[in-house]
Structure 1
Amino acid sequence: MLPCIELRGAIPVGVAFGLSPGMAFCLSLIGNMLPVPLLILFTRHVFRWLTCLDNVIGRFMRAMETRVHNKSDLVIRYRSIGLCLLVAIPLPGTGAWTGAMVAAFLDMPLRSALPAILLGVLIAGLIVLSITYGVITVF
């Protein structure tokens, strides 16, 4: 599964290869969610390592971290809903992988980030499944 396509491409491809829409949805959902916990944990370590660098990347990461923490009141209040909505938009680059990176950057606990990402993936999957099924029915 490619990070920029995720289940948005997997459902139509699965249906095109002869899977039932329900099976394509389930397999895409599982495949999309499997790497998310590892991505959140791994990305946190990468962010910490990058902030320790003494170059342009390190300065950029420290500036972004400061900016996020300065706006933390708003982020803390809306982060699960916002994360879910980010993942739910069925466009390339707004899926579970991006949601995992955002959750890691905001230092969200895994137990609150995973349900938000899962709900977003479910919503996006249902939207893509509806569009795919509608196109198949029309043609």
Structure 2
Amino acid sequence: MISDLLIAMLWSISPLGEAKVGITYALLNGVNIYLAFLFCFMANMMVFPIMTFFLDVINSYLIRWYYYKKAAIFVARRAKVGAGDNVRKYGFWGLMIFVLIPLPGTGVYAGTIAGYLFGLERKQAFLANTIGIFISCVLVWVATLGAMKGFNS
């Protein structure tokens, strides 16, 4: 169970799945439903400070290299297109709604980048991302539990 919980947390930190995949993985592998939610949510929350540090410190150094710059511009454009109108128009609420939608490309990674690009205050962006992650986790958690219950009936 501990190894499954650790793998679920790694999925929750990963940009490929975030907590959407982590929670589902944990529940399908028999991890306690409350531990799965709590640990995957907390792991996904850790992405914001890591990404903020990356954007503030490491990004400014790496942006000098052509291939990194090209990839960074691609990622920034995707984040702007996905969240742009909502964040520009509604600020905190737009970012929160963008992050809470449990679809690929709408999680805390894109939310952190969008908040950074649109100049949201760091505390506001963190709170919007955290609330969005929490609601997204609840939606995925309830949907997964419901599906598991439906399959067992």
| TM-score normalised to structure 2 length | 0.70
Partners of 2:117 and 2:133 in 1: how far apart? 19
**Aligned ranges for residues 1-139 of structure 1 at < 5 Å?**
1=10, 2-45=14-57, 75=88, 78-139=90-151
The Cα shift of 1:104 comes to 1.2
**TM-score normalised to the size of structure 1?**
0.77
Q: Amino acid of the residue matched to residue 111 of structure 1?
A: K
What is the Cα-based RMSD across aligned positions, in Å?
2.8
User: C-alpha distance in 2, partners of 1:46/1:87?
Assistant: 24
Larger Rg: 1
Aligned residues between the structures: 128
Partner letter of residue 110 of structure 1? R
Q: In the aligned structure 1, how far is the partner of 2:95 from the partner of 2:46?
A: 18
Q: 1:16-67 CA deviation, whole Å, 9 max, x = no partner? A: 221122211111100001121221232244665688x6x7x58x96xx8xxx
Deviations 1:77-129 (A, max 9, x none): 51111111111010111101111111111122211111100000011001101
Q: Which runs of 5+ in 2 are unaligned?
A: 1-9
- 5+ residue gaps, structure 1, are none
In structure 1, C-alpha distance between the alignment counterparts of 2:59 and 2:103, rounded to whole Å: 25
CA distance in 2, matches of 1:22, 1:34: 19
Q: What is the alpha-carbon distance in structure 2 between the residues aligned to residue 44 and residue 95 of structure 1?
A: 20
Identity %: 25
Q: Which amino acid aligns with 1:100?
A: T
